[in-house]
Structures are given as structure tokens and as C-alpha cells.
Chains A and B, each alone.
Chain A
Amino acid sequence: MSSPEVAAPISRAGAGTLQLLGNELATQFGRWRTWAMLTALALVPILLGVAVRLVGGSRPGRGPAFLDQITDNGIFVALAALTVAVPLFLPLTVSVAAGDAIAGEAGHGTLRYLLTAPAGRVRLLLVKYLAAAAFCLAATLTVVVVGVLVGSILFPIGPVTLLSGAQVSFGEGLLRLLPVAAYASVSLFGLAAIGLFLSTLTTVPIGAMAATAILAVAAQIVGAIPQLDAVHPWLFTDLWLDFGDLLRSPIVWDSFARNALLQGGYILVFGAAAIARFTTKDVLS
């Protein structure tokens, strides 16, 4: 009965984890719900672009950042849409993806079959987290890519004036959107770790999703209260909108690094909490 593959267990375990991750990604991006959420996110730049096209641009200083520049250069649709989506829409969809990770399996009853396969509890958490992180990336890219497409259809495109005043070619401007998208994705990684942890606490996925989304909003509210500025640097939402540095010339990576460090801290803390909780949990679902 023993399979010949039991030799080389370490490399096989690695390959097995990749297989499980591949299967998880295919499941996540094959389901209707994921595409509904990505479609909703795509509507943000579409609505923004169409509204500005129909009504006309806003005066400088009014509305979300970058909004006043859209009529000059379509590429700013992507940046304005990202600014609009980061505080609420992106965290909402990430809350759904991350909050569902374990609780959804528990709710369907499939958790007991994954664990008796045996998937391994830590390995399952790792795969679920990587899938949630992949969703963060897909969500951000959806906003940015659709933003560029909508912008280039509805508005003139050309050389991009950076925040520092320098002008770069449209092509280089597009390249600058990559670190911006990466920044927004990294911003969501901490939230995804929180969602994963909350997901190990319940068998009701909607509860974990709602709790994650509420935390994202609550952190931003705390971040908006000046009297609480002592805790601001510790909030996972603190640097969410600070991707402007990536639009200077030369590019300034400081805020990217600080944000990555902050999110990494949240990943460590909530990842450890999720592992501690999940590896000792009685699975009754």
C-alpha cells in the first residue's frame, strides 16, 4: 500500500503545497463571487471616468486626489480610482476573500475533509493566506488596469507630470503605476492576515467577513481622530494612501518600505495568532 513517492519527503511536501495553492487559486478565481467582486471594483474607475467626462473636471483641490488632473491625462483615472477604492471598496472585497478562508470551509463542512486528507493545518493556513494575498493583488490591478483603459478611451493621454513637477513619457508613467499597485496590494496584506485570523474563530463566514471589514473602517476612523495620534503609527490603515512618493522623480521608496514593515508586523502577529488558534482548535464543523 505504501506509495513509492515516500522517498524525498521534503521536496514532495513543497511540490504538494504548490499543488494545493494552484488548486486553491483555481477554485478562488473560478468562482462566480470573485468575479462579481472584481467587476464591482472595475466599476469604480468606470463610474469615475464617465462622470468626469460627462460633467467636466473638478477644480484643483476639490474631490479625491488626482481627480482634477483626469481631463488633462487619462492615466490619472487609475490613480483617482485607487484613491477612492482604497479606504472602503478594496478592504470590503479583501474582507470577503480573507474572512471566508477557513470559516467558509467550516461552513461548507469541507474543512474536516481537507484536514483528514491530510492538508496539514499550518499548510492550509499558508495556502489560504497566499490565495487571499493573490486576491489583494488581483483587486488592486483590476482598479488600476481598468482605470488606465477607461482613461485612455475617454481622455487625452500623453506625457505625465509627476508630483515633483518633472515630466515623464506616457510609457514611463504606466511603469510608475506598477509600484503604486504593489503599494496598494501590500497595504491590504495586513488586513488579509487579520481576516484570516478572524476566519479561524468561527464557522460562520459572514461573521468573519463583517468583523474584518468593520476593523478596516474602525482603524481609519481612529486614524482620523487627531487626539489619538499616539496610536496612529500602529494602525494598519495609517499609510494606506501614502503612495504619492512613488510618483516623484526620482522615485522615493521610504513610504513603501515603512508600509511594508507595518504590514509585515501585522502579518506576523495575526499569522501567529491564526496558527496558534487553528492548530489547537477542535474542528466540530
Chain B
Amino acid sequence: MTTPTPVNPIAGADLSIETTGLTKRFGAQTAVDAVDLAVPRGAVYGFVGPNGSGKTTTIRMLLGLLGATDGQARVLGSPMPRALDTVLPRVGALVEGPAFLPFLTGAQNLRRFDAADRHSTRRTRESRVRAALDRVGLTHAAEKKAHAYSLGMKQRLGLANALLMPRELLVLDEPTNGLDPQGTREVRALIRSFAADGTTVFVSSHLLAEVEQLCSHIGVMSGGRLVAQGTLEEFRRAGARERVQIRTPDSEAAHAVLASLGFEIDGRNAASDLDLVTGVMPDGTEAEAIVTALVTAGVRVRGFEVVRDSLEQRFVALTGEGFDVVA
């Protein structure tokens, strides 16, 4: 397995979610293993990792649905689950897919969840339900029974439930699951608008493209552990190193040329790749200049390629396993 290279944790910031050593074991299986989350207030935090990496279990602990085996969690500055009653009214949640009573209409389901929140006000319930339905584009389906909703509509209704009250934090588990491309774009636009209102958004996803487009911060889960965490910029920088790959029978000479240009040489490659020379490009080097230098030095160039590590490759390196990267 690849050694994780943790990006510097966000230290000293005002945190919406903070966990230390958060652990959940089910019998002998450790689902979440000593996770230290740091989600700054106002961030859009992408919580990514393959299916089964412990994302949903972590979210369930943050929301007080599961008790932690070990470690602490603070949400909006208060310990969970001890301060659940005062914290959760300020948190909107979509956990592991939307769920409704099928025999009630969309609006009735929302009224029911709203009535369950003892901090909600009956007087404003109807207008808040309408506003939430309107915000996710479900006004026309408000009086339809939930069993007649498509998966995408249920997903929107789930988001509407998270928006019934003004929230300081939204915890959204796979919010674009089951949505068509247009629905996906709309949900992303919604999430951006929440963030623009100053709401912290903690969004889990297994779609990297989504995270890259939406998030200011990223945490990567793999096998129950948080293997990396940081701002998107830090991830980009860490993964943005450009390297050249040169195919040549004159590898010694090529190494010399690259070294003279300030390259960080990766060293000799495996026996099968005797003629492949790779190195990390220093900033500001132009590819054309490298080729010119090589040719001038009499290096016979059979192949030349500039490779840039994508965020995707970086995630695969971090999680060390197949990753669903379809947007």
C-alpha cells in the first residue's frame, strides 16, 4: 500500500466539525479508525473515499446515530452526541440516501420531520416547507405521494428536508446519487449557494470530479482511516508536479542533461524500462527547451512526454485501490 502523505491539517481555525481519534468498531471489524477531521467554518468539505471506506459510519457518528467506540467528536463547537439536542437543530442532514413514508405526500413528509424537531415553530412550518420545496424545484410535486417520486425527486426532497430550518452546517451524504446530469448540476449549484450563504457544507462523495468542482477542502478516507486532509489548493499543488518521460538508449547522457536543467531525477527505472528516463520538471521549464537540450547533447530521443499527475491519480495513490472516477 502507498504510504499516505498527509497534507498539513488545518490547524487553529474555527472548526465546524472536529474529531480526535474517532473510532468505530463493529465486533472485530474496525469501520472507522482514529479519524481526526478538521472542517473549518464556512468550508465546503469534500469527504471522499471508495465505497465501504467508513464515510457513512463517520457521518452517523457525527449526527449521534451511532455511538463512537473511541475518540471524540465536536460539531459546531459542542461535543456529540452529548449536546445533540442543541446541535442538531442547526444541522441539516442527508444520510445514506433520502427516506420517506411512502404513503405520505412530499409536503406531508417534510411537515412530519419538521414537527419532530422540537425547536421548529408550527406557525412558520407551512411557509418553510413551501420554501424548501421551492428551493429544490419540487413545488409541482408537493402533493404527490412519496412512493410516486423518482429517485432524483426523492434526492431533492431529502435536500429540502435538510433546508427546513436555517442551518449552520449541512451534512450531505452522496447528494447527487441517482440524479441525472442536469439534476447533478442543479444540486451542485444549490450546494454552492448554501456555501455562499455562509453555511458550512460537509459533503461525502465517491465522485472526484464533483469534489474537485465543489469543494474548498478535501478529506480522503481509505479502509476506515483518514489518509489525507487539506485544502483543494494543497491537493492540487501536491499533485501538480509535472514530470517528463524520455525514451532513449542514451539514458546516462539524458540524465546528465536533465540534471543540468535542474531536474529532480527519479533514478533508473526497472530492468524492463532500461531506456526510460523520468524526472520531475522544475517550475517554469519549457518542454521545447528540454528537447532542444537533449538533441544538442546528442541524446537520441525516441519518445518524449510531459505527464501531469491528476488529482485522480493522487487519490488512487492515497486510497491504493480502484476508485470510481466517473463524473
A residues whose Cβ falls under 8 Å from a Cβ of B = 1, 3, 5-6, 12-13, 15-17, 19-20, 22-23, 27, 30-32, 108-110, 112-120, 123-124, 280, 282-284
Contacts and interface: CB of A to CB of B under 8 A. Distances in A.
A117 B118 CA distance: 8
A109 B118 contact: no
Nearest to B57: A284
Contacts of B65: 112, 115-116, 282-284
Nearest to B166: A1
A11 to B, nearest CB: 11
B66 A123 contact: no
Given A116-B63, A118-B89, 9 more contacts: A16-B118, A16-B119, A20-B115, A20-B116, A30-B104, A110-B109, A113-B95, A115-B65, A116-B88
Contacts of A282: 65-67
Most chain B CB atoms below 10 A, which of A30, A116, A283: A116
A17 B118 contact: yes
Interface size of B as a range: 35 or more
B111 A113 contact: no
B89 A109 contact: no
A19 B95 contact: no
A229 B210 CA distance: 69
Interface string B79-121: 0000011001111010111011111100011011111111111
B22 to A, nearest CB: 14
A32 B116 contact: no
Given A109-B99, A112-B99, A23 B121 contact: no
A115 B118 contact: no
B19 to A, nearest CB: 17
Nearest to A19: B115
B161 A284 contact: no
A119 B97 CA distance: 19
B97 A109 contact: yes
B91 A116 contact: yes
A88 B49 CA distance: 52
B67 A117 contact: no
Contacts, number: 104
Interface string B134-173: 0000000000000000000000000001000111100000
B67 A280 contact: yes
Contacts of B101: 27, 108, 110
A14 B236 CA distance: 52
Interface of B: 60, 63-67, 84-85, 88-91, 93, 95-97, 99-104, 108-109, 111-122, 161, 165-168
B175 to A, nearest CB: 15
Contacts of B66: 282-284
A117 B166 contact: no
A27 B64 CA distance: 26
Contacts of B93: 113, 116
Given A112-B96, A115-B65, A120 B85 contact: yes
Contacts of A280: 67
Contacts of A15: 122
Contacts of A20: 115-116, 118
Given A32-B103, A116-B65, A284-B60, A5 B95 contact: no
Most chain A CB atoms below 10 A, which of B85, B96, B116: B116
A113 B108 CA distance: 14
Given A27-B104, A110-B100, A13 B118 contact: yes
A280 B65 CA distance: 10
Contacts of B120: 16
B113 A113 contact: yes
A117 B113 contact: yes
Given A1-B166, A118-B88, A108 B121 contact: no
B147 to A, nearest CB: 11
The 4 tightest CB contacts between A and B, nearest first, are: A109-B99, A16-B118, A117-B116, A119-B116
Contacts of A23: 111-112, 115-116
